[in-house]
Amino acid sequence: MMEREARRTPPELQELTEQLSLRWFGRPFIHEAVYNPRLRTTGGRYMLRDHSIQVNPAVEMMYGEEELIGVLKHELCHYHLHLEGRGYKHGDSDFRELLRKTGSPRFCKPLQAEQQRTVRHYRCADCGRQYERRRRVDTSRYRCGKCRGKLQEVQ
């Protein structure tokens, strides 16, 4: 996947969010929409305390404007339902219905940082059981869960 440069400035992101809110939800977005480069595994998030929407800039750089609009519409579903006092969580029927009505995606496309995680392989020296872990395991502290044997990292 070829990365693109971010096309929008923060004021343009705010304006796009306000336009999408009026067009798809018929209500104004009166809070703040910002880029948050610290987001790693998600395309965006709605903040309950200050009602702001944070967007991962990697979404627009990797997938373009269409995916950015999808993320914003998804977060606007959370926003409007929360302000109305209706079910705004992913499992709530109000939320799922509003996603369907507005054509908003339930999930964003996977971000490259999440796809390229390394997997470490460990094997028990006694019983031979194999383990896969994303984080490094301290083999001097941890043992096999089956036989309590010593773990060895497999290269």
In a domain, 29, yes or no: yes
Annotated catalytic residue: which of 67, 75, 97, 114? 75
Instruction: Examine the domain organization and report whether 90 and 149 are in the same domain.
Output: no
Instruction: Examine the domain organization and report whether 127 and 63 are in the same domain.
Output: no
Instruction: Examine the domain organization and report whether 109 and 80 are in the same domain.
Output: yes
Domain range for residue 132?
118-154
**What pTM did the predictor assign?**
0.71
Q: Tell me what pLDDT residue 111 has.
A: 78
Instruction: Examine the domain organization and report whether 145 and 74 are in the same domain.
Output: no
DSSP state of 90: T
Long-range contacts formed by 43-49: CB under 8 A, 24+ apart: 43/67, 43/70, 43/71, 43/74, 43/108, 43/109, 43/111, 44/71, 44/72, 44/74, 44/75, 44/108, 45/75, 46/75, 46/78, 46/79, 46/82, 46/88, 48/82
Q: How many domains does the chain have?
A: 2
Does 75 participate in catalysis according to the annotation?
yes
pLDDT digits (tens, 9 = 90+) for 81-112: 999 999 999 999 999 999 999 999 998 888 76
Picking from 130, 136, 134, the residue whose alpha carbon sits closest to that of residue 115 is 134
CATH number of 57's domain:
3.30.2010.10
Instruction: Examine the domain organization and report whether 23 and 90 are in the same domain.
Output: yes
In a domain, 93, yes or no: yes
pLDDT digits (tens, 9 = 90+) for 21-35: 999 999 999 999 999
